[in-house]
């Protein structure tokens, strides 16, 4: 079995997927929880629904960016991990792992039901999302070099 659901509404959404899609999305869910466990500064993980999709938010406000997962429309049996489109997350993932993922614009990583998930790379991307705002603040707080 996997990690139990705290929210029955989230569990119901997962139950609504076809079995193969559910397995893929549950694997993404497990990777999100595993990456979150390695980030003690995020205050844990909150699983909820946003726009009817399973969504994962950091327990500590303003530490990370929301991650959503869902089936990705079309007949090609794909599913996706979505990130805030106004962040630079997917742009960063594309620069770090151009050959590891299929990308949907500036908002998602796409996966095929018959494809192997690059788990180490994906866990890194998830960690970057879960610490996004903390890292942005840290970067903004760095002293700037004097120009002369």
Q: Where are the domains of the chain?
A: 8-139
State the pLDDT at residue 137. 62
In 10 A of CB 48, how many CB atoms?
Answer: 15
Could you tell me the two tokens for 75?
Answer: 């007949």
State the pLDDT at residue 73. 77
- pLDDT tens digit string along 85-132? 888 999 999 999 999 999 999 999 999 999 999 999 999 999 999 998
For the chain, what is the mean pLDDT? Answer: 90
Task: Map residue 132 onto helix, strand or coil.
Answer: helix
Cα separation, 64 vs 62, whole angstroms: 6
Architecture label for domain 8-139: Alpha-Beta Complex (3.90)
State the pLDDT at residue 49. 98
What is the greatest pairwise CA distance in the chain?
A: 63
**How sure is the predictor about 55, in pLDDT bands with cuts at 50, 70 and 90?**
very high
Instruction: Please indicate whether residue 147 or residue 27 has the higher confidence score (pLDDT).
Output: 27
The count of residues in the chain is 148
Prediction pTM value: 0.89
Mean pLDDT of 44-72: 95
Cα separation, 70 vs 63, whole angstroms: 23
Find the DSSP H helices in the chain.
8-15, 19-37, 89-96, 119-130, 132-140
């Amino acid at each position: 079995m996997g990690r139990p659901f705290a929210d029955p509404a989230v569990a119901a959404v997962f139950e609504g997927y076809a079995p193969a899609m559910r397995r893929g999305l549950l694997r993404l869910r497990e990777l999100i929880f595993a990456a979150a466990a390695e980030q003690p500064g995020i205050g844990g993980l909150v699983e909820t629904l946003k726009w009817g999709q399973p969504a994962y938010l950091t327990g500590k406000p303003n530490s990370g960016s929301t991650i959503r997962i869902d089936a990705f429309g079309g007949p090609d049996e794909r599913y996706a991990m979505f990130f805030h489109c106004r962040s630079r997350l997917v742009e960063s993932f594309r620069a770090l792992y151009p050959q590891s993922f299929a990308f949907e614009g500036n908002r998602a990583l796409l996966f095929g039901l018959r494809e192997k998930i690059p788990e180490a790379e994906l866990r890194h991307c998830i960690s970057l999302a879960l610490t996004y705002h903390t890292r942005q603040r840290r970067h903004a707080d760095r002293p700037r070099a004097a120009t002369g």
